[in-house]
Structure formats: C-alpha cells, structure tokens
Amino acid sequence: MKRFGSRYGRKLKERFGEIEREQRKKQLCPFCRAPQVKRVALGIWNCRKCNVKFTGKAYSVEKRISFKKQPEESRQELQEEEQAQEAAAL
C-alpha cells in the first residue's frame, strides 16, 4: 500500500490490501477446475482455458455462481432427463 503514502490511514489501507490480494490470487474455474480465471469487470469472470464467462462475487469466485447455461450443457441435461424418465417408466 505504498502507493497511498501517508494518506487514508492504516486500517483502510490494510482492508484495501486484503481485498486486492483476494482479487489478484489465482481463482479456480468452477467448470474445468483450472486456475486460469481472470476478472473482466466487477463480478464478471472469464476462464481462459474453457472460455466460459460467468458471474461471481466482486473480488473473488465463490460457491454462489449464477451463469447462463451453455448449449452443450443444456443438451446433456435434456438427455439425462430423458434417460431418467425412461427408467422411471420401466
């Protein structure tokens, strides 16, 4: 926090340092588990490996993630549902 010099006080600089450390550490992609997630904007994250854009917390990727379903995922889910319905019918 040397960039702030003697301004803003010790506690605020410590809090800002914690947030910045969390934001800049390697984040794991919730889809491919690769540590290649980069923050695009406030709460928007992009995995450079599987090229998936998703939302998370402002400064870190957490368990609570809302995202739009990818076309491949929705096809897989439909197939699984159809299989489950066929198994239930038997």
Domains located in the chain, CATH noted: 26-89 (2.20.25)
Is the CB of residue 20 less than 8 Å from the CB of residue 29? no
The pLDDT of residue 78 is 64
> What does the alpha-carbon distance between residue 90 and residue 88 come to, in Å, rounded to a whole number?
5
Q: What is the pLDDT of residue 10?
A: 87
Residue 76, SS3 per DSSP: helix
The residues of the chain scoring below 70 in pLDDT are: 1, 63-78, 89-90
Residue with tokens 């010099």: 5
Give the pLDDT confidence score for residue 76 in this predicted structure.
65
What pTM, to 2 d.p., does this model score? 0.58
Buried b (16+ CB within 10 A) or exposed e, 43-61: eebbbeeeebebbbeebeb
pLDDT at 45: 92
